[in-house]
Copies of this chain bind each other. A is one copy, B any other.
Amino acid sequence: MSSTVKSHKPHDRMAAYLTEDMGAVNRLIAERMASEHAPRIPQVTAHLVDAGGKRLRPMLTLAAAHLCGYTGGYHVHLAATVEFIHTATLLHDDVVDESGQRRGRPTANLLWDNKSSVLVGDYLFSRSFQLMVETGNLRVLDILANASATIAEGEVLQLTASQDLATTEGIYLQVVRGKTAALFSAATQVGGVIAGAPDAHVQALYDYGDALGIAFQIVDDLLDMQGDAAATGKNVGDDFRERKLTLPLIKAVARADAEERAFWVRTIEKGKQVEGDLDHALALLHKHDALIDTSTDARIWAARAVEALQPLPDHPVKTMLSELADYVVERIT
C-alpha cells in the first residue's frame, strides 16, 4: 500500500498509502449514489463527486482506522458515509450561498436547479445514514448523529451571523466548528471507534480532527482574501461580496476607527458595495495586521493538531497526519 513516488503533498502520500481502501470507498460511493428510479440523483451526485476534491475527509477516517490497527471492513463504510455527508452539505451550501462555481465547475444548482440540489442532498444524507447503520456500531452512530446536528446548527448560525458586525471571534469559532471541524473530528473519531481503540486514543483523534478542521477553515477564509483564483478555484473577495464575517474581517472590524466602521457598516451590514470597495477592504485588513494575525491563529490550530497526535502509537500514518496539519498552513503565502 505504499507509493514509489514521494510526493511533496502529505495528502497525496496518504492517498498512495491508502490506495486500496480508497478504491473500495470510491466503489461503494458509486454503488450507493445510484438510484433505480430517479436518474437525476446519480447525475447530480456524479457532477460533484467526479469533480474530484481531495477526498480528505474519507481519507482521515481510513487513516485513523489504520493507525488504531483496524483489520475489519467497516472503515470503508464510514469513509463513504463521511463523504456523502460532505457532498450533501456542499449541495445545500451552494443553494444557500447562491453559488455559481464549485471546484472550478458550474454548481449543480446552476446546471440543474435549486430543487434538485436540495432533494439530492437529502437523498445523499439518507444514504449516508443507511451506510453507517450497516456498521451496527451504536457509538459510531451517536458520534455521526451529533456531528450532523452540529453541522446543521453551524450553518444556521452562519446564516444569522452573516452581515452582522457584532459577530465575535467566539461566534466565528462556533460557526467553523459547525461548518468544517465537526465533520473532520467525527471522521477521525469514528475511525478510532470502529477499530476499538482505547478512549484516550479516540479522544486524541477527535482533538486532532477538530484542530485540523479549524486550521483548514481559517486558511480557507484567509485565502479568500489573498489567494489567487487559479490556485483556490475561488475569486478573491467572494466572502466580502457575500458579506460573510470571516476571521480577518472580524479582526479588522474590531480595530476599526469611526470612519472605517462606517465603511464596514455600509459594505457588510447594508450590503451597499461599489467599485473599489474590495480594494479598500483589503487595505484595511493590511493596515490592521488582520491577515497576519489570522495566519498566526491558523498556525496555532495546526500546531494543536500535531500535538493532539502525541498519545497515539507510532505508525507511518501518524507521521502523515502530522505532516498534513503542517501542510494545511503551508498553503498560506
Which residues of A pack against B, CB within 8 Å? 35, 37-41, 89, 92, 95-96, 114-116, 118-120, 122-123, 125-127, 129-130, 133, 136, 138, 141-142, 145-146, 148-149, 151-153, 155-157, 159-160, 174
A-side interface mostly: helix
Contact, CB under 8 Å: A156 / B120: yes
- Bound together, the chains give a CA A136 to CA B157 distance in angstroms of 30
Contact, CB under 8 Å: A40 / B130: no
Contact, CB under 8 Å: B119 / A148: no
- Bound together, the chains give a CA A57 to CA B99 distance in angstroms of 36
- Bound together, the chains give a CA A89 to CA B123 distance in angstroms of 11
Min C-beta distance of A40 to chain B, whole Å: 5
User: Given A37-B157, A41-B153, A92-B118, 19 other A-B contacts at CB below 8 A?
Assistant: A37-B153, A38-B153, A38-B156, A38-B157, A40-B159, A89-B122, A92-B119, A92-B122, A116-B156, A119-B155, A122-B152, A122-B155, A123-B149, A125-B148, A126-B145, A130-B145, A130-B146, A138-B138, A141-B141
Min C-beta distance of A150 to chain B, whole Å: 8
Contact, CB under 8 Å: B145 / A129: yes
- Bound together, the chains give a CA A157 to CA B159 distance in angstroms of 30
Min C-beta distance of A127 to chain B, whole Å: 6
